[in-house]
Amino acid sequence: MDYRCIRIKRYNEILAVFIKHGFGLLLERLGLRGELEREDKISEAGIAPGEVSVGRRLRLALEELGPTFVKLGQLLSMRQDILPPGVIEELRKLQDSVQPFPFSEVKALIEAEFRDNLENIYMEFDEEPVAAASISQVHRARLASGEQVAVKVQRPGVEKIIDLDLDILKEIARFVDRHTKLKDLYDFSGMVKDFEKTIKDELDFTKEGKNAERFMHNFSRYEGIRVPKVKWIYTTKRVLTMEYIEGIKVSDLKALEEAGIDRIKVAENLATCICNQIFRDGFFHADPHPGNIQVMPDGTIVFLDLGMVGRLNEFQKSVISKFFIGVVFRDSHLVVKSLVDMKAITDQSRVKNFKKDIDALIEKYLTMPMNEMKIEEIFREIFHVAFLNRVKIPREFTLLAKTLGTLQGLLEKLAPDLNALVIAEPIAKKLFYQSFSARKMYGKMRKSLLNYGELLSEFPAAMRNILGKMADEDFTLHFEMKDMEGLQKQLERLFNRVSFSIILLAVSIIIAGVIISSGLSAGTSGEMYIFNITVLKAGLALAVVIVVWLVISIIRSRC
């Protein structure tokens, strides 16, 4: 079967699953129903829309469609700016666990990757996996050195399935953006592009290994934090070998208590570590759910599954700390300014209304103590206001919200009195104030000077190029003025103001001159007359006529 036929078949499978789960009418409105007709082909009676919530129906459909759509749902669970809380809550329940694939396939894939027999690579290899997911599964093994390791093996054929699904998703996104009015609100093509990058990174296990090494370097300054070491000799794009660490799942409160582990200390260390990852390192675990965090008997926290991470450069760290400080101190100006800085608001005419709506939102938190504020709720409300104002929330902000929201959920289990906002506030504040330090300012000035220096060095060559083109007989200059009517009105208003000011000045000088001359004349030979009218009265009358004429001309120009 050729690729086109495979693609059509998969496309129809996707439509059939969504129709089965009660989304047929939505697909029809979007013009995506395609070859599938109404109930004579696919019955929507499987799950009636009124019987089960939209969120649950969406979750069930995504789980049925496999790894690509499970990952897509997990990514959508971060989008509090476009999805209601009920749908977000359901998407967070997405199960990425499936039946493990046979050991024979595991063995064949490892041997193909290393071009050697499995027995020559690992001294021991458990046939039963310790965990299985839609993209990979993990086996316990032992190296020739005797060291125990965890071996993550990619599910055979999953990359081809994901590539096919991505191809279909891109086409659907382009169609919806092109044929509906939803593009300005959602930008489906942009969402699919972000998703493609995320899932492609997760398919390359060497990238996860590099993430682990970077985390290890960053965590070297923290006590009680650990990441499994990568065994690079036994790692490829589809096989990842790391040291095996035995620990207790962070959400298993009973096991933590039986091991004598201080839950409050674990919670404090975990929260401080994640906040430092975000605001200090600019490199953070973007999926810190309980399954990815373990606690060792001595209380050391272990981070697992480092495929999904958030990255922030210096500028983004500064802007996000500004945004966070704005949230903490209920400062709408900082919240709006940070989104403007990140180019989330491209239409400046919307800034005023957006700030007004943020002011109204923040007002409800003005008297609330910080330890009672729910960070996830605040972010959700800010993102909703942003959505209503057509402000596109940058991916970095949604990752921040998801990470801190997940952290708060963990804290509520481990230590209910702890609040992620309270722990994050001093860390974010320190970074925010550091951006105004002499060292930072010097760095910014130095960077600007280097840019200007580079620009000046390129200027002569650029001018020579332009002059050379101008000397060419075929040289043409295209000049386009957009919104001439608006520009003309602005220029007219400016001209009227300048004219009004000049004439008022002239009238003032005339009146002053008339008064002075009248006074001087009165002091010598009496008042001066023009056509039996005193000079003073004539000057005042002239001034009034000029002003009235100018006002009438301005009013006419605005009509």
Residues 144-158 have pLDDT tens digits of: 999 999 999 999 999
pLDDT for the residue 120: 94
Backbone dihedral angles phi then psi of residue 536, each to the nearest 5 degrees? -60, -45
Percent of the chain with pLDDT over 90: 33
Residue 481 DSSP one-character state: -
| Per-residue pLDDT band at 38 (split at 50, 70, 90) | very low
Mean predicted lDDT score pLDDT of the chain: 81
For residue 472, pLDDT beyond 80 = no
Sort 170 into a burial class: Cβ within 10 Å, 0-12 / 13-18 / 19+.
Answer: middle
Among the ranges given (206-210, 211-215, 453-457, 505-509), the one the predictor scored with the smallest mean pLDDT: 505-509
| Per-residue pLDDT band at 486 (split at 50, 70, 90) | low
For residue 530, pLDDT beyond 60 = no
How is residue 30 written in tokens?
């979007």
Q: Which residue has the higher pLDDT, 527 or 243?
A: 243
pLDDT digits (tens, 9 = 90+) for 86-140: 888 888 888 666 789 999 999 999 999 999 999 999 999 999 999 888 899 999 9
How is residue 541 written in tokens?
């009358």
For residue 40, pLDDT beyond 50 = no
pLDDT for the residue 462: 72
CA distance 488 to 495: 10
pLDDT for the residue 14: 92
| Per-residue pLDDT band at 308 (split at 50, 70, 90) | confident
| Per-residue pLDDT band at 44 (split at 50, 70, 90) | very low
CA distance 62 to 92: 12
pLDDT digits (tens, 9 = 90+) for 319-333: 888 888 888 888 888
pLDDT for the residue 204: 95
Mean per-residue pLDDT for 46-51? Answer: 55
Sort 451 into a burial class: Cβ within 10 Å, 0-12 / 13-18 / 19+.
Answer: exposed
Q: Which residue has the higher pLDDT, 522 or 330?
A: 330
For residue 45, pLDDT beyond 50 = no
How is residue 88 written in tokens?
């977000």
> Any bridge partners for residue 213, and if so which?
none
- Find the farthest-apart pair of alpha carbons in the chain and give their distance in angstroms, rounded: 127
Catalytic residues: 287
pLDDT for the residue 210: 96
How is residue 558 written in tokens?
């605005």
For residue 215, pLDDT beyond 70 = yes
Residue ranges per structural domain of the chain: 250-436, 439-479, 484-558
For residue 388, pLDDT beyond 50 = yes
Three-class SS of residue 203?
helix
pLDDT for the residue 43: 46
Give me the DSSP letters along 218-264.
Answer: HHTTSTTEE-PPB-GGG--SSEEEEE----EETT-HHHHHHTT--HH
Q: Which of 177-191, 369-383, 434-448 has the highest mean pLDDT?
A: 369-383
| Per-residue pLDDT band at 42 (split at 50, 70, 90) | very low
CA distance 513 to 536: 9
Residue 305 DSSP one-character state: -
Percent of the chain with pLDDT over 70: 75
Mean per-residue pLDDT for 24-36? Answer: 73
Q: Which residue has the higher pLDDT, 516 or 244?
A: 244
pLDDT digits (tens, 9 = 90+) for 279-288: 889 999 988 8
| Per-residue pLDDT band at 9 (split at 50, 70, 90) | very high
Q: Which residue has the higher pLDDT, 438 or 429?
A: 429
For residue 519, pLDDT beyond 60 = no
Find out whether 231 and 241 touch, Cβ atoms under 8 Å. Answer: yes
pLDDT for the residue 213: 95
